[in-house]
Amino acid sequence: IGSGKTALIEDLIDNLDAKIGVLAGDIISDFDADRIKSHNAPVVGLNTGTECHLDAHLVSHGLGDLPLDDIDYLFIENVGNLICPVDFQLGSHMRIVVVSVTEGDDTVEKHPYIFKDSDLIIINKIDLAEAVGASTDKMVADAKKLNPDVKVITTSLKEGKGLDEVIEAIKDAKAHEAEHHHHHDHDHNHEHSHDHDHHH
């Protein structure tokens, strides 16, 4: 919570130059979804109730409410909780973790699983690192130790720092993905064969 996930999604909608849809998981309210809607991207707010994560079932429900043929990128914003979501693979093609230095520079060390499992780690609010006495270098090093191949990008979204790099990484991943799968849906249906009907 407060690491800058919604801000990142808003920045991406404004800067990716592609059609974006968002599934926003928010335990309490549609607050995040409303923020994103104000950027003219289709959003489905998934209310997880008391659960602290989205599961594949909720996601497939949400997909039914989005204009999927019209979307280049679908962002699934999981509930802001570092521990829970790691146990749930949502069938996404790229897992992005956003963590902020204000959560403490031992955050990566304390929650190894989520960082081990991600494709892109964004360390945000680096402009505040000094004020909160956090070492960005330590966080980057911890992340690399857990996941040597992961891409780690340090950002200050408020100042627009690092955003270009994030956009580059997401575009690269998509291009990479396209090379591997001639047909994006094939993989998706394969993973969620029990949800097969939802995709048509």
Average pLDDT, whole number, for the chain? Answer: 78
Q: Does residue 193 carry a pLDDT above 50?
A: no
| Arithmetic mean of pLDDT, 136-141 | 96
Cα(35)–Cα(32) distance, rounded to whole angstroms? 5
CATH 3.30.70.2340 fits 93-173, yes or no: no
Residue spans of the domains in the chain: they are 1-86, 93-173
pLDDT of residue 37: 84
Contact 78, 54 (CB under 8 A): yes
Confidence of residue 82 (pLDDT cuts 50, 70, 90): low
Tell if the pTM clears 0.85, that is, is over it: no
Q: Which CATH class is domain 1-86?
A: alpha beta
